[in-house]
Amino acid sequence: MSYPNQPNPYGPPQGQPQGPPPPQYGYPQQPMQPQQPMQQQPYAPFPAQPMGPGGMPGIPAPHQMPGSTKAARVMLFVLAATGVIGIIMMTVGLNQLSSASANYDGLSGDAQGIFAVGKGAMVVVMILQAAYAAIALVLGLQYSKGGNGIRVGSIIFGSVSVLCSIPFAIALYGIPNFVLSILIIIFAAKQESQAWFMRPRH
């Protein structure tokens, strides 16, 4: 003898609609949110470096003439003054030589030729000293508003002056010009002098 199927006591009552499934244990599931792209944190800007001549990083362009540049300009003025003094001395010597040659009318032709050669040599030296003094003066006057060409010209002038002063430096009286010329080269070649001559001009 078989018994009819008994209803499941744990299931829903027969004849009634099944309700929502029982809640699951644990944390409720959250809906999936779209992944946000990783935002890069902006880096702190680097500290601004001083801009040198030509827009390149380096020492800033000076607003006033540096001390070494001023010293080079003063030395150029001193060399110009020594050139003028040399011209004055050569002029006095030339006048004395002319007077001496005029007082000796009985000199032979060779003696007169020697006097003429001496006068010509003194005139050439005077012209060279005038050019020397003029170049030194022009370079010195252009230090306040001149460009990098004035600095390069000062270095070249100092180098030529050193070579021309060597024979006189051996005789001791050319030592001041020799030393000043070397100092002009050193001071004009400094980085602060380069920054001064290459500074932007408005």
H helix or E strand, kind and range, residue 157: helix 148-170
Distance between CA 191 and CA 194 in Å, rounded? 5
pLDDT, residue 63, reads 82
pLDDT, residue 93, reads 87
**Counting beta carbons within 10 angstroms of the beta carbon of residue 130, is it exposed (0 to 12), middle (13 to 18) or buried (19 or more)?**
middle
- ∠57-63-68 over CA atoms, to 5°? 90
Q: What is the 3-state secondary structure (H, E, C) of 109-129?
A: HHHHHHHHHHHHHHHHHHHHH
Q: If pLDDT is split at 50, 70 and 90, which confidence band does 119 have?
A: confident
183 vs 59, more confident: 183
What are the pLDDT digits (tens) for 51-91?
Answer: 554 444 555 667 889 999 999 999 999 999 999 998 999 89
Q: Could you tell me which residues are beta bridge partners of residue 51? A: 57
pLDDT, residue 59, reads 57
Distance between CA 199 and CA 67 in Å, rounded? 16
Q: Comparing 47-61, 83-97, 103-117, which segment has the lowest mean pLDDT?
A: 47-61
- Mean of the per-residue pLDDT values for the chain? 77
With CA atoms as reference, report the closest residue to 168 among 129, 195, 202, 137: 129
3-state secondary structure of 172: coil
């001064």: which residue's tokens?
196
Q: Which amino acid is present at 87?
A: I
What are the pLDDT digits (tens) for 129-142?
Answer: 999 999 999 999 99
pLDDT, residue 29, reads 56
What are the pLDDT digits (tens) for 122-168?
Answer: 899 899 999 999 999 999 999 998 899 999 999 999 999 999 888 87
Residue 96 has pLDDT above 70, yes or no: yes
